[in-house]
Amino acid sequence: MRIHVVLDLYIFKVKTFFGALRASKASIALLLLYTLSFLLGLFSFSTPISDAIRKGVTDIDSYTELLSSVASLLMVFAVSLALRGYTVFEYEQNLIFTSPIKPREFLIADIFSNLTSLLIFANPIVIFYVMIVHSLKLSTLSALLMLSSSILFIFTLLLLKTSLSMIKSLYGGNQVNTLILAIIVILVLPAAGFIADLPLEYNSLPYPSTFLARILVKSVYSVDRLTLDFAGLSFYFLLSVLLFLSISTKNFFPTTTCIPFVSPFDTSMRMQTLQMERNIKMFSRIGMLPTLNLGSKSLLTFLMKKEVIRVIREGSLFTIIFFYLIASFIVVATSISSSQTTQSLPYTYLVTFFVGVYSLTIPLMLVSNWRFSDIGSLWIPLTSGMDLRIMVNALLYSFISISSVVPAAVISILSLIYSINPIIPLTLAVSTSMIGCPVNLYIMVGFLGMKSSGTPSILIGLASMLLSVLLLTPTYILIFLGLHLSFGDVTSWLLTVTILAYSTLIMKLFSREIKRSISRIEL
Amino acid sequence: MKAVEVVNLVKVYGGGIPAIDNLTFAVEPGEIYGLIGPNGAGKTTTLRIVATLIKPTSGSVRVLGFDVVDQAEYIRRMISYLPEEAGVYGNLTGYEYLRFIADIYAKSGDESESMIEEALEISGLGSRIKDRVKSYSRGMRRRLQVARTLMVKPKLAILDEPTSGLDVYHAHYIRRCIRRYVDEYGLTVLISSHNMLEIEYLCDRILLIHRGRSIDDGPPRILKEKYSSNNMEEVFLKAVGLT
Ligand SMILES: Nc1ncnc2c1ncn2[C@@H]1O[C@H](COP(=O)(O)OP(=O)(O)OP(=O)(O)O)[C@@H](O)[C@H]1O
Ligand SMILES: [Mg+2]
């Protein structure tokens, strides 16, 4: 192994990945924003934690339990990445895989560059660690112990993920899939114990995540009696090193899966499009199954059908359904776990809140997918001389129907489970999509019409979210009133009608504006 | 020993129809050997197999005496590959990019410096080499790629449509560079191209592929006689059976 080659390769990879960061101020601002908001969240956690620790908690076990389930979720995530096989970027394949660089040299550079990007994205956690060490006045030994065990754990994860993805790439097949899935199941099992009352607990099992959690929690109090845990963690680390050493000399280059290179900081259209493609590709195969009959009498319905087909084919619809499934799962899980504790929220609140948050993201998803997949053919309607109002309406109506139908289905199911009245959550979902879709489209079209159309999509999304929430304030107030002043049936319906009328008004207003600014886009 | 020896090569992508169907050819050391054929004929697939990037479904491919499957490591020390569409390195400067490659291939600091100097000359990018690759035009990127492929003076250069997207002046210039490298350093070149002028100017021998099969091969001059044609374009059309 040649150290200087590994170093060169590492620097090259990091430079390529973070290159865009050097060039664009917007990206740096975004990263700062990210760090700040992340830190804010951690702060709100840290106060109760350090308070509790100062007061002297007796319940060390449950802290360990919590931490080790988080750590093993991280492991599950890392291991499940291996199911894709070893993925590399185009440039790595063409350039590096035909050069004298050896597999192991490449792998080590890859692991360290993964670690680097991990550290940059997790920088708030590093800051948090420093804050905790400082505010609790931990001894140097404890601080070092926490740090070194975290580093050991992270390396174990990276080595495991690397080796497993290589095994998957090299040998493929169902046996490897079964192996990876088995590891995942073993890691998840104790977590399932929370819900199903299994006698399994992370605390009592020799998982790497348990060792890490024990060290982290216990070293806050004293560094005694940690030798065993540290030895356990080191054992797993050595195991992963051995696995890595035994597999890393194999020529796995021709078996890798190639993915287009995308830096998260890139502001160029092409890069964002590629990223988008990657996200929705997973679902696009299912999308070829349904076909709609395109023929219809009016241009409006024709265009609407076309949009619906696009949304199905490119996979956005499945992404939406997928998101909702996860979200409803979380709702159900929270309600189960909170019913065990003292106060439980009324389900109507829970469902309404969940609908409010999630239905806000769907218009954003639909509109940005439209941008990425249709901007290239926007010249067709724009140069065709057709009435642009029809086109805008077709877009809006299809977006609104899609973004109302999916939540509506979920709400119906949830309201059956909890036997609650679905009217209020339904009204919220429909109003959110009637206001959210036009607002998102308006802002997107506005940005596209600007001279510098290379705005990062996150910024556009942020702006759309803010404006949507602002315009939805009346809806939120009315919904809030409706929830609190348990109205009779007639007043409830009146409320719904008022909200829908208001939403229609906003929609009409924005659709006129969109029509005006869509003709300003330079293609 | 042959520079490249392909025997009964078959490549099937994911269970479909074969992209390469029983292809056999050999490239002599120091020769410029051209692959020509219609779109989808299997040129890129062949080159990627020779470059050890993908594995053959069956058949054997040896490069400079080594097997592409079992001895890829040795082959990679002696080849340099220019892909059909080179990926994006947009955020590095042209210079950083060349520096990186030179450092991988060179055995000493001096060698690395002289590689970069040569690459600067081949690419003809001048002071633009300090700009980020993102800001280059298509042709400028291509020139940077050709330069990095040649500067390491491989024993075998695998060039997939090296001059695609280049203007007449730069295409001509790049061809002269390739020729010069072959003459001065004794490289062997395996090249694919859709430019018949280029093929005639550069190649000692060519292989005509169609639907993954070889239809004919030989020096351009002989092929022109055989198909009683004035230029390679006519040879191509007649051989593929399009006239
Ligand atoms: N990754 C792939 N997966 C499936 N099929 C592929 C893949 N790459 C190429 N093919 C198929 O293999 C055949 C040969 O493709 P190849 O790229 O080698 O052609 P080519 O001769 O280089 O064409 P061109 O002149 O257009 O560059 C084509 O039928 C193509 O569809
Ligand atoms: Mg090709």
d(C-alpha A496, C-alpha A157), whole Å: 51
B15 touches chain A (CB under 8 A): no
**A277 vs A260: CA distance, rounded Å:** 10
Taking the centre of ligand 2 as the mean of its atom positions, its distance from the CA of residue A472, in whole angstroms, is 53
- B138 close contact with A: CB closer than 8 A: no
CB distance A4–B80 less than 8 Å? Answer: no
Q: Ligand 1 within 6 A of B45 CB?
A: yes
Does A88 score more than 70 pLDDT? Answer: yes
Query: Cβ distance A208 to A233 under 8 Å?
Result: yes
d(C-alpha A91, C-alpha A259), whole Å: 10
Give the domain CATH number at B72: 3.40.50.300
| Residues in A touching B106 (Cβ below 8 Å) | none
User: How far is the alpha carbon of A86 from chain B, nearest alpha carbon, in Å?
Assistant: 14
Question: How many angstroms is it from B193 CA to the middle of ligand 2?
Answer: 8
**pLDDT number for residue A384:** 67
* Mean pLDDT of the region A376-398: 80
Longest Cα separation, chain B: 55
The closest CB to that of B104, out of A15, A101, A255, belongs to: A101
List CB contacts (< 8 A) between A253 and chain B.
Answer: 52-53, 72
Whose tokens are 């759309």? That residue is A464
Q: What's the B45 CA to ligand 1 centre distance in angstroms?
A: 6
Residue nearest to atom 7 of ligand 1 (CA): B13
Tell whether ligand 1 has an atom less than 6 A from the beta carbon of residue B40.
Answer: yes
By CB atoms closer than 10 A (0-12, 13-18, 19+), residue A197 is exposed
CB of B19 sitting under 6 A from ligand 1: yes
- Residue A162 is predicted with a pLDDT of 94
pLDDT in tens, A179-191: 998 998 888 877 6
Which of A95, A113, A248, A257 is the mutation pick for testing B, counting most B CBs within 10 A?
A95
**Which structural domain, as residue segments, surrounds residue B74?**
1-78+198-243
Burial class (CB in 10 A: 0-12, 13-18, 19+), B186: exposed
Nearest Cα to Cα of residue B6 among B217, B154, B153: B217
Measured CB to CB, residues of chain A less than 8 Å from chain B are 4-5, 8-9, 11-12, 15-16, 18-20, 22-23, 89-91, 93-95, 97-102, 251, 253-255, 260-261, 263, 266, 268, 271
Ligand 1 atom 29: the closest Cα is on which residue? B40
H-type alpha helices, chain B: 43-50, 72-76, 94-105, 109-123, 138-151, 168-185, 196-202, 220-226, 232-240
Angle A457-484/A25-55 helices, nearest 10 degrees?
50
The pLDDT of residue A50 is 65
pLDDT score at B243: 63
Measured in degrees and rounded to the nearest 5, phi and psi for residue B81 equal -120, 130
Provide the sign of the torsion angle of the four alpha carbons B91, A39, A64, A77, taken in this order.
negative
> Average pLDDT in the A461-471 region?
86
Q: Is B92 left (phi over 0), alpha (psi -120 to 50) or beta?
A: beta
Question: Of A409, A299, A417, A300, nearest to A347 (Cα)?
Answer: A417
Element counts in chain B: helices (H) and strands (E)? 9, 10
Chain A residues near residue B86 by CB distance under 8 angstroms? 91, 94-95
The answer for B 33-62 residues in CB contact with A (under 8 A) is: 51-55
What pLDDT digit, counting tens, does each position of A395-421 carry? Answer: 999 999 998 988 888 888 878 877 777
Q: How far apart are CA A103 and CA B73, in angstroms?
A: 9
> Do A254 and B90 lie within an 8 Å CB cutoff?
no
Closest chain A C-alpha to B200 CA, distance in angstroms: 27
E runs forming strands in A202-291: 257-259
Q: Which atom from ligand 1 is nearest to the alpha carbon of B194?
A: 25
Tell me the pLDDT band of A206, cut-offs 50, 70 and 90. confident
State the DSSP code for B133.
G
Number of domains in chain B: 1
* Residue with CA closest to ligand 1 atom 18: B42
| Chain A contact present for B106, CB below 8 A | no
Interface of B with A in 181-240 (CB under 8 A): none
Q: Which residue of A has its CA nearest to B96?
A: A12
| Cβ <8 Å between A90 and B87 | yes
How do the domains of chain A map onto residue ranges?
Answer: 3-258, 314-518
Tokens coding A53 = 């620790």
Q: For residue B132, which residues of chain A lie inside 8 Å, CB to CB?
A: 19, 23
8 Å CB contact of A99 and B90: no
Specify the higher pLDDT residue, A106 or B85: A106
Measure CB to CB from residue B55 to each of A95, A254, A260 and give the nearest one: A254
User: Is residue B88 within 8 angstroms of chain A, CB to CB?
Assistant: yes
pLDDT at A344: 43
pLDDT score for B25: 96
In a domain, B188, yes or no: no
CB spacing of B73 vs A5 below 8 angstroms: no
CA of B10 to the centre of ligand 1 (A): 13
Contacts of A95 in chain B (CB under 8 A): 81, 86-87, 101
| Pick among B48, B52, B53 to test the A interface (most A CBs inside 10 A) | B53
pLDDT higher than threshold 50 for residue A449 = yes
Specify which residues B159 forms β-bridges with.
B82, B191
Please tell me whether the interface predicted TM-score (ipTM) of this complex is above 0.90.
Answer: no
**What is the percent of chain A where pLDDT is above 70?**
74
**A55-83 mean pLDDT:** 78
Q: Which two tokens stand for residue A504?
A: 């229609």
What is the whole-number distance in angstroms between the Cα of residue B71 and the centre of ligand 2? 25
In chain A, what's the furthest Cα-to-Cα distance? Answer: 80
Q: How far is the CA of B43 from the centre of ligand 2 (A)?
A: 5
Q: Chain A: residue nearest B152 by CA?
A: A99
By Cβ distance, the residue of A12, A94, A100 closest to B87 is: A94
Confidence of residue A228 (pLDDT cuts 50, 70, 90): confident
Partners of B5 in the β-ladder:
B26, B62
Tell which one of B39, B44, B84, B161 to mutate to probe ligand 1, the residue whose CB is within 8 A of the most ligand atoms.
B44
Cα A224 to Cα A214: distance, rounded to the nearest angstrom: 12
Compute the distance between CA of residue A221 and CA of residue A146 in angstroms, rounded to an integer.
12
Q: Measure B153 CA to nearest chain A CA, in Å.
A: 12
What secondary structure letter does DSSP report for B54?
S
- Chain B hits for A260, Cβ within 8 Å: 87
Cβ atoms within 10 A of the Cβ of A456, count? 20
Q: Smallest CA–CA separation between A235 and chain B, in Å? A: 33
Summarize chain A as % helix, strand, coil (round to 5).
80, 0, 20
Most confident of A80-89, A115-124, A170-179, B113-122: B113-122
**pLDDT tens column, A259-304:** 665 554 444 444 555 555 554 454 444 445 555 555 566 778 878 8
List pLDDT tens digits, range A323-333. 777 667 666 66
User: What is the per-residue pLDDT for A340?
Assistant: 44
The Cα–Cα gap between A78 and A71 comes to: 11
Taking contacts as CB-CB distances below 8 angstroms, the residues of chain A near B76 are 97-101
Going by C-alpha positions, the residue among A468, A273, A472 that lies closest to residue A368 is A273
Q: How confident is the model at residue A192 (pLDDT cuts 50, 70, 90)?
A: low
Cα–Cα dist B165/B25, whole Å: 28
| Greatest mean pLDDT range, A296-300, A341-345, A472-476 | A472-476
Q: Tell me: pLDDT of A387 over 70.
A: yes
A270 → chain B, closest CA residue: B88
Closest C-alpha among B188, B211, B201, B192 to residue B232: B201
Min Cα distance A16 → chain B (Å) is 6
Of B72, B100, B132, the CB nearest to A251: B72
Kindly state whether residue B129 falls inside one of the protein's structural domains: no
Low-confidence ranges of chain B (pLDDT < 50): none
CA-atom Rg of chain A in angstroms: 26
Among B9, B10, B11, B13, say which to mutate for ligand 1: greatest number of ligand atoms within 8 Å of CB.
B13
Q: Which atom of ligand 1 is nearest to the CA of B192?
A: 22
Distance between CA A502 and CA A430 in Å, rounded? 12
Q: What is the pLDDT of residues A7-41, one digit of tens each?
A: 989 988 888 777 656 656 666 666 677 677 677 76
Check if the beta carbon of residue B156 is closer than 8 Å to that of residue B6: no
